[in-house]
Homo-oligomer: A and B are copies of this chain.
Amino acid sequence: MNTLTWVDGVPDDSPFGVHNLPYGVFTTAERPERRRIGVRIGEYVLDVAAVARALGAPSTLLEAPTLNPLMAGGRPVWLSARAAITSWLTEPAHRALVEPHLAPLAGVTLHLPFEPADYVDFYASEHHASNIGGMFRPGSPPLTPNWKHLPIGYHGRSGTLVVSGTPVTRPVGQSKAPDASAPGFGPCRRLDFEAEVGFVVGAPSPLGVPVPLSAFGEHVFGVCLVDDWSARDLQAWEYVPLGPFLGKSFATSLSPWIVPLDALQHARVRPPVRDVEPLPYLDDRDAEPWGLDLELEVRLNGQVLTRPPFASMYWTAAQQLAHMTSNGASLRTGDLFASGTVSGPERESVGSMIEYTWNGQDPVKLADGAGRAFLEDGDEVSISATAPGPGGIRLGLGEVTGRILPAVATP
């Protein structure tokens, strides 16, 4: 069935049909220097600025090499752009003018869709935090006393955010085995992925003005997938007392498509019951909360490893945003905050390798018979996700993928 759009080959239940319409930035082989905003429909990308120009519609915000100007416009602008693009792709009267600006996805190159400002990484899965806490701090309670009172987070390196497909060079660095007398320096031996969901801030907020839970939808433009690559041996040695640094800062990969928050209204669910009463600025019990029923899938060298359930996250993105700004910190267009590793309760639903192999003790069995305690050179990790849409269809969030390259010779 293809009744919703005139675009060929886009059935009504397509994960990239007219109910999704995620934004990205692309170039073509003919004009590799000219980055343009594109909207995905099926297996095509629509050059939206070109359409706006062809229709004589206002297009200033779309005529940019990144999504930042559009994102800065705020929700009324997002809604009107989305309404216009929907009409272009659904009304047969537009077909003649619009169709020439559809390019097959297979022929374009996708780029980081926005210019990142600050990057914050949270730690919002109770299963993940419990698993990691147990491994990193044996003998202590796995959750720190603050964990259920506030969404723990830290700032990451925004300069090393890369788009899906960018190879990830194995980092080198310091690490110390528990029984060694001094640290050594060399290629990471415990390289891992972390499957996360990222939230991209569009509308900024001024310094000194917290963003309440209720204003989440006014500030967050959309959602992407994040692979927060982690060097577990570097991280374990460096992270006390000021947190992760080089164990995370070598690369963080983003999926190329930003799904508008407004496309995810059908995915909203209540988060798990919390056993600690939240302080008022984090209390979402009387509101329609921002839990999201996204189903993630992690593949290692093409083989499905796990299916992490985002609906199981203890803290929602709205709570994270409210917390992050509760001290008066401002927001900028392009701020990215990620959920933290998405892990469900079972081995088949965790979002990192260190959890799946339980710190390397129980390796992954690959289809070719090989085992993996952590990632090896040449391994490829892909994280994809879907979300409930209207009428029982599922929307696609695309995927974030990366292949490990060998470490560069140390200086």
Contact = CB atoms under 8 A, between A and B. Distances in A.
A183 B279 contact: yes
B243 A243 contact: yes
A242 B153 contact: yes
A145 B329 CA distance: 33
Interface stretch (A91-99, A206-214, A375-383): A206-214
Interface string A135-178: 01100000011100110111111111010000001011110100
A329 B331 CA distance: 24
B159 A331 contact: yes
B327 A281 contact: no
A249 B123 CA distance: 18
A118 interface: yes
A207 B240 CA distance: 26
Interface residues of A, number: 68
Interface string A220-249: 000000000001001001111111111101
A242 B244 contact: yes
Decide if the interface of chain A is mainly helix, strand, loop or mixed.
loop
A253 to B, nearest CB: 12
Interface string A323-335: 1101111111001
Contacts of A117: 158-159
A328 B249 CA distance: 9
A182 B280 CA distance: 13
B411 A210 contact: yes
A234 B327 contact: yes
Contacts of A237: 146, 150
A209 B410 CA distance: 10
Contact of A144 (B154, B173, B241, B329): B241
Contacts of A171: 327-328
A408 interface: yes
Which 3 pairs from chain A and chain B are nearest by CB? A243-B243, A171-B327, A155-B155
13 contacts: A117-B158, A152-B241, A153-B242, A155-B157, A171-B327, A172-B326, A172-B327, A174-B279, A184-B279, A239-B242, A246-B324, A246-B329, A250-B328
